[in-house]
Amino acid sequence: MGSARITAYDVAKAAGVSQPTVSRVFSRSASVDPAKAERVRAVARELGYIPNLVARSLNSGNSFRIGIVLAYLKNGFFGEALQDLSKALNKQGYSVTVYFAGNSSDEVDAIVDDLLADQVDGIVLASISLSNALVSRVRKSGIPCVLFNRGQSDPGTSMVTASNFEGGKQATEFLIKAGHKRIAHLAGWRKALNGVDRRDGFLAAMESAGLNPLACVDCHFRRNVAMEETRKLFAQNEVPDALFVANDHMAFGVLEVLREELGLRVPEDVSVIGYDDAPMASWKTFDLTTVRQPLRQMIDATANTLLNEITNPSCAPEKIEIPGELIVRGSARIPTGTARPKAQT
């Protein structure tokens, strides 16, 4: 016979608090002293206590489940984000279910039907590749929703992104200060506001410096497309001396083409800057200079915004932009007079 299930009473006794206090700690709507709440959670983890979500749901009318919708996980940034976002929501007492959606109308309808059937309390749409049709259907369903790492011109939906325009501008200005003049941009996707903002930041920096872009190509945030566009750029008479790539997932493929297929030296022959600071960017193989998305702050803002909308259904949607940071590694030339920074991970 297995051991008896650990109860809230067991946790309360071990933590030196009342049983109602334990219940409040694992209830999103209750207020408990942070130090006391952390002690209760630590004891619960040690004892292996699992809150009874079914009982909580019956008492509150909520499911305490959040749906996170993605299009794919090929981009390493989304894998890390999914893990951290799940932890942040779990800490607030919510379980997480991940859904994968394509962009066909049938897939959009199926995902919305699944979200409604599972009675999730809120939804995070966490991919720039998800269609606006899905966002529209989710909004019409009445379930609180926050867009993570994707923008949309619709003012009726809350969204949390990095400051993509400023990030694109900062990356391009760095290349210009390093003496580059033949700069091309391998852009994201013209239907994704993130990609549009990064492109616009690139164009603004080029215009301010009195330079014309050598190229600005829509690559749909796809690695294979960026690789093929790189081959085309370097088959021309006038080739780039620098590339600003709209995300790291594409930049890794670009570096492969430059080094392995074309035999070019990075950054001696051509500088490359990416965007995201995905985990692999710091690997010696890539050593990628990139714009770091402020993941921790974006996760916290997304979780807080969604929980606020669940608690206060009438609250106004929020558009939150958080500044990123240029992480200088070895794939881009350092501007003259600038001290080479220590390796950044």
Residues 158 and 299 both lie in one domain: yes
**Does the residue 213 lie in any domain?**
yes
Whether residues 35 and 112 fall in one domain: no
Q: What CATH number is associated with residue 314? A: 3.40.50.2300
Residue 172 lies in a domain: yes
Q: List the chain pLDDT tens, one digit each, 345 residues.
A: 445 678 888 888 999 988 778 777 776 545 678 888 888 888 888 888 766 655 554 454 567 889 888 876 676 777 888 889 998 888 887 888 888 876 556 666 777 788 888 888 899 988 765 667 777 777 777 889 899 987 766 677 899 999 999 999 999 999 999 999 999 999 988 878 889 999 999 999 999 999 999 999 999 889 999 999 999 999 999 999 999 999 999 999 999 999 999 999 999 999 999 999 998 999 999 999 999 999 999 999 999 999 999 888 888 889 999 999 999 999 999 998 776 655 555
| Model pLDDT, residue 216 | 97
In a domain, 94, yes or no: yes
Q: Which of 91, 47, 267 is nearest to 179 (CA)?
A: 267
Instruction: Please report the pLDDT score of residue 1 as a whole number.
Output: 40
Residues 33/21, Cβ–Cβ less than 8 Å: no
Q: Do 300 and 280 share a structural domain?
A: no
User: Are residues 71 and 29 part of one domain?
Assistant: no
pLDDT of residue 270: 98
Question: Domain check: are 172 and 270 in the same one?
Answer: yes
Instruction: Indicate whether 1 belongs to any domain.
Output: no
User: Are both 168 and 279 inside the same structural domain?
Assistant: yes
Q: Are the C-beta atoms of 149 and 126 separated by less than 8 Å?
A: yes
Count up the domains in the chain and report the number: 3
- What's the confidence (pLDDT) of residue 321? 94
Q: Please check whether residue 76 lies inside any domain of the structure.
A: yes
Residue type, 192: A
Whether the upstream peptide bond of residue 313 has omega within 30° of 0, thus cis, is no
In 136-210, DSSP assigns E strands to 145-148, 158-162, 183-187
Q: Return the exposure string of 14-34: e unless at least 16 CB atoms fall within 10 Å of the residue's CB, then b.
A: bbebeeebbbbbbbbeeebee
Give a yes or no: residue 87 inside a domain. yes
Structural domain contains residue 3: no
Which DSSP symbol is given to 259?
Answer: I
Query: Are 9 and 3 contacting, i.e. CB atoms less than 8 angstroms apart?
Result: no
The answer to whether residues 149 and 225 belong to one domain is no
Please report whether residue 78 resides in a domain. Answer: yes
Residues 100 and 110 placed together within one structural domain of the fold? yes
Residue 58: the pLDDT is 44
Range of the domain at 23: 8-51
The answer on 302 and 156 residing in a single domain is yes
Shared domain for 131 and 250, answered yes or no, is no
Same domain, 280 and 187: yes
CATH code assigned at 47: 1.10.260.40
